[in-house]
Structures are given as C-alpha cells and as structure tokens.
Amino acid sequence: MLQVATIKNNLDKYVNGLQKRGFKGAEELLNDVLTLDENRKRIQGELDEVLHESNKIAKEIGQLFKQGKKDEAEKAKTRTSELKQKSKTLTEELNGIETSLTKHLYNIPNIPHESVPVGNTDEDNELVKLKDKNIPNLGDHKKPHWDLIEEYDIVDFELGNKVSGAGFPFYKKQGARMVRGMINYFLDKAAEAGYEEVQPPVVINEASGLGTGQLPDKEGQMYHMEANDLYLIPTAEVPITNMYRDVILKQDELPVKHTGHTPCFRREAGSWGSHVRGLNRLHQFDKVEIVQVVEPEKSYEVLDEMVSHVENLIKSLGLPYRILRLCAGDLGFTAAITYDFEVYSAAQEKWLEVSSVSNFETYQANRLKLRIKNKEGKKELAHTLNGSALALPRIMAAILENNQTGDSIKMPEVLHPYLGFKEITRR
C-alpha cells in the first residue's frame, strides 16, 4: 500500500509510475486520496478540540457543584451533552473517511522501479539472460509431457477430476516420488543459502490476504471458505510474510530469511489449448518459496542474490532457461520489480514460466505495519521480497520432455539421491 505522505511529496512521480503501468485515472485517484487525507486531518482536528473541551468542562462541573454554583454546573452539563453528540457525529464521519481512504489505497498498485521497462504485455518484457545451448534434439521420440505421464503412468488427471475436479491431478509411483524429491532438494538448497524453513498454514484470514496484497486485487482467483471466512493460499509468500504483520524488527534481527513448501491453490481457469494442458496450469500445485525482510538500502542487493539462487537451481537441473525483467504493464499488483524465469520445454517447443522473484519495497510492509527499529530508535518501513524456488509442475514437465529417450526418462543427476532412481521406466 502506498503511503499518503510519500504520494503528497512525490505526486508527479507516483502519477507517472501508475501511468507507466497503464493504470487509468491515476492522477484523479491520487488527488482523491490527498483530498480524503486532508478531510481526515481536518475532522480529526475538530474532534480533538471537542474532546479537549469536553474533558475540561467535565473537570469543572464537580468544582462548580462544590462551590454551590448549581445553575452554572447544569449549563456545563448541557454543554457536555452537546459536545458528546458532536463528538459522536465527528467520529462517525472520521471513520467513514478513513474507510474510504483505506479502500482507495488498497486498490492502487505499487509503482514500478525506474529500471522496469515500459510496456503492456509479455511481449514487452526485457530479456536479461538466455541460456539455451542445452536444448535437446528429441528426434522421432518427441512427446509432450501429457503423453509421457500417461505412457509411464506417473500422473493421473482423470482420477483427479473424479475426486476433486479438473486441475487437481494425482501424482503416482515414480511421479509422486519425483515431486517429493524435488521439494526436498529445493528446501535443502534454500537451507544451504541461509533460509530458515517453516511449514505454514495453507489457509489465511482476510487480514493476511490484505496484508500482502492478494486482497482485494485477486479475490476472484482465490478459493474462499465462506463459513469460516478463510482463504486457501495462492502461495506460501502470504502466510510466511504475514508472520511479521504488526511487528517491529530490530536492525540486528535482519535480514529475515524464510523458506517453506506448501501446496498452492488458484481458481484461475484457462481456455482450452496446449498452454493450459497437462501440468502447464493447475488449480493445485506444490511450490517452495523463499522470502526475505530487509533494510530498504539493501533490498536491491538482496534481489540480485535471490535471482542468483533461483538461477543456480535451474542450472543444476540441466534445463535451458531465460530470465526476463517484466515490463510495467505485466507486473503483479504489489511488485516494484519482478524477474521471471522460464525453462524451455523441448517437446512443446515453448518457454514455461517456473519462477518469479520480486521486490515489493515498502508496499507490503505498509499494509502489514512491518517496521524496522534502528540502533538510534528510529522506525522505518521494511522492504519485503519473495521468489519461487521453485514451482514444481512446469519444472516437472520440462524435465520429462527434455530428458525422454524413447525407452525411459532420465532424471537430473542432482535429484538422484532424493529420488532413489536415475530414470523413469515403464512398469
């Protein structure tokens, strides 16, 4: 959430930043925010004066009665009643303005970092790095992963559809072990990099969704349990980052580094086609997440560190990959900058997104009221960052497709100790 004081002091910067995103009505909306804030301050000032006068008169009433000045005391009591009613009216008006102001701020996205390229679609994203020398030539045995998983009987979409619905597959046999092995490998690599592992809940309350910006922006994409007013998480970022909602961290407690594996749930339904077929898009999938809370002046150094961590994971799996810096129009609602990682799927002959690494700067911290107290006692908003390290389904799809031989599917060497097998075979 943007800070009103920062908007006021940098209005042109924020208008231009939102316009860079393609956000319509940016100047009008930001001016509405500033007007609401001025009204809030004015009414708060009036309310403070009324309360001050009311408290002053309340103290005087007892003295007037003691002095036998009954008429004056009764007049003072009448004035107190008037002030009480005025206080109630002003409080209601103030609450209404504060609610409206918060609603406005919740619906304004973060502004992009100056390095974010201009653009509106994924075609405008900037290619940062391309490593495609190991794209395999599959020859006559080239099959997409949805054919391979049926042939090797390692994922069952029909059974998932029967039990839950489309987009909720069963992983079986070597497929199930492959998922478990990748999760453990990714978690171990995160631990080696200094991330503390947590196993968070997979349901969150509304305050948590608001805290990291999934609500109200992505409300329609989240599974909502109305009876309990709880949401299934779209990513482990949400519960892990919310561990620090309403927390003041000491400078020597930073950086905060957490990793966690969870299933992730997303209602988004894609149109029919190869881009959503098989493991390409699911309603439930597993992901290992890395999250950091850091001092503002160090966050872009940390962003580079997190990008390097994800890159090394993909390298270790032997997959062709590329790194993209997302354009302003393709940024997520809460991000100031995002790097996307895509791996090449040789059988589909397309790039598949497998990770996003983002810096939110103070946007989430302001919603969360997550602050840092430095050694001088001064408080400031923290910067939060997160990344997928990694999302499993498309990584699995690329491994299956790129390593097929016609007789088996070879597994990346780094996964051998985690799987208990070196290749997937027909059984």
Q: Is pLDDT at 28 greater than 70 in this prediction?
A: yes
pLDDT grade for 271, boundaries at 50, 70 and 90: very low
Q: What is the CATH classification number for the domain harbouring 31? A: 1.10.287.40
Task: Tell whether residue 355 is among the known ligand binding residues.
Answer: yes
Euclidean distance between the first and final Cα of the chain, in Å? Answer: 53
Reported residue count of the chain is 427
pLDDT at 63: 82
Q: Does residue 39 sit in the same domain as residue 137? A: no
pLDDT at 273 over 80: no
Structural domain harbouring 67: 4-106
Is position 392 within any domain?
yes
Tell whether 27 is covered by a domain. Answer: yes
Same domain assignment for residues 100 and 174: no
Q: Residue 178 falls within a domain, yes or no?
A: yes
Distance CA 6, CA 398 (A): 44
Q: Are residues 101 and 127 in the same domain?
A: no
What is each CA distance from 401 to 136, 139, 142, 274, in whole angstroms? 9, 12, 8, 14
Cβ contact 111:362 at 8 Å: no
> Does 275 have pLDDT greater than 80?
no
Kindly report the CATH number assigned to the domain that includes residue 180: 3.30.930.10
One domain, residues 259 and 330: yes
Per-residue pLDDT, 413: 98
Dist. CA 92–CA 112, nearest whole Å:
36
Among 60, 75, 106, the domain boundary falls at 106
Residue 116 placed within a domain: no
- Categorize the per-residue pLDDT at 59 as very low, low, confident or very high, splitting at 50, 70 and 90: confident
**3 state DSSP class of 168:** coil
Provide the sign of the torsion angle of the four alpha carbons 31, 33, 35, 41, taken in this order. Answer: negative
pLDDT in tens, 165-193: 999 999 999 999 999 999 999 999 999 99
**Cα 266 from Cα 281, distance rounded (Å):** 10
Instruction: Name residue 218's amino acid.
Output: K
Give the integer Cα–Cα distance in Å for 176 and 369.
Answer: 40
Q: Is 164 annotated as a binding residue?
A: no
Whole-number mean pLDDT of the chain? Answer: 95
Same domain, 215 and 250: yes
Q: How would residue 23 be classed by pLDDT, with cut points 50, 70 and 90?
A: very high
Question: Is 174 in the same domain as 67?
Answer: no
**What whole-number distance in Å separates Cα of residue 124 and Cα of residue 20?**
13
DSSP, collapsed to helix, strand or coil, labels residue 169 as coil
Rounded to 5 degrees, what are φ and ψ at 169? -75, 160
Sheet strands side by side (includes 337-345): 126-131, 321-325, 337-345, 350-361, 383-391, 284-294, 256-265, 196-197
Domain presence at residue 175: yes
Region of poorest pLDDT, from 49-58, 188-197, 341-350: 49-58
Whether the CB-CB separation of 234 and 222 falls below 8 Å is answered with: yes
Question: Buried b vs exposed e over 389-413: b needs ≥16 C-beta within 10 Å?
Answer: bbbbbbbbbbbbbbbbeeeebebbe
Task: Report if residue 111 sits inside a domain.
Answer: no
Q: Please, are residues 235 and 284 in contact by the beta-carbon 8 Å criterion?
A: no
Q: Averaged over 73-99, what is the pLDDT?
A: 93
Q: What is the pLDDT of residues 196-235, one digit of tens each?
A: 999 999 999 999 999 999 999 888 899 999 999 999 999 9
Report how many domains make up the chain: 2
Q: Is 289 annotated as a binding residue?
A: yes
Predicted local distance difference test score (pLDDT) of residue 274: 54
**Residue 92 and residue 173 in one domain:** no
138 plus 285 within the same structural domain? yes
- What residues have CB less than 8 Å from 156, skipping those under 6 apart? 169, 170, 172
Q: Is the pLDDT of residue 91 over 50?
A: yes
**For the purposes of burial, counting CB atoms within 10 Å of the CB of 363, is it exposed (0-12), middle (13-18) or buried (19 or more)?**
buried
Question: Is 353 labeled as ligand-binding?
Answer: yes
Average pLDDT value for residue range 350-365 = 98
Q: What CA–CA distance (Å, rounded) separates 196 from 190? A: 8
**Segments of 276-382 assigned E as strands:** 284-294, 321-325, 337-345, 350-361, 371-373, 379-381
310 is in an annotated binding site: no
* Residue 67, pLDDT above cutoff 80: yes
Q: List, for residues 212-223, the tens digit of each pLDDT value.
A: 999 998 888 999
> Kind of pairing, strands 196-197 and 256-265?
parallel
d(CA 373, CA 421): 50
CA separation, residue 1 to residues 65, 157, 199, 373 (Å): 52, 40, 27, 20
| Mean pLDDT along residues 281-298 | 97
**Residue 97 falls in which region: left (phi positive, over 0), alpha (psi -120 to 50) or beta:** alpha
Residue 117 lies in a domain: no
And the tokens for 359? 């810096």
The annotation status of 394 as a binding-site residue, yes or no, is no
pLDDT of residue 41: 97
Mean pLDDT of 48-63: 89
Same domain for 126 and 29: no
CB of 149 within 8 A of CB of 278? yes
Rg of the chain, C-alpha, whole Å? 27
Residues 197, 145, single domain; the answer is yes
Last residue of a domain, one of 106, 139, 162: 106
Q: Give pLDDT, residue 269.
A: 53
User: Does residue 93 have a known ligand-binding role?
Assistant: no
130 shares its domain with 53: no
Residue 337, domain member (yes or no): yes
Whether residues 94 and 158 fall in one domain: no
267 is in an annotated binding site: yes
Domain boundary among 51, 82, 106: 106
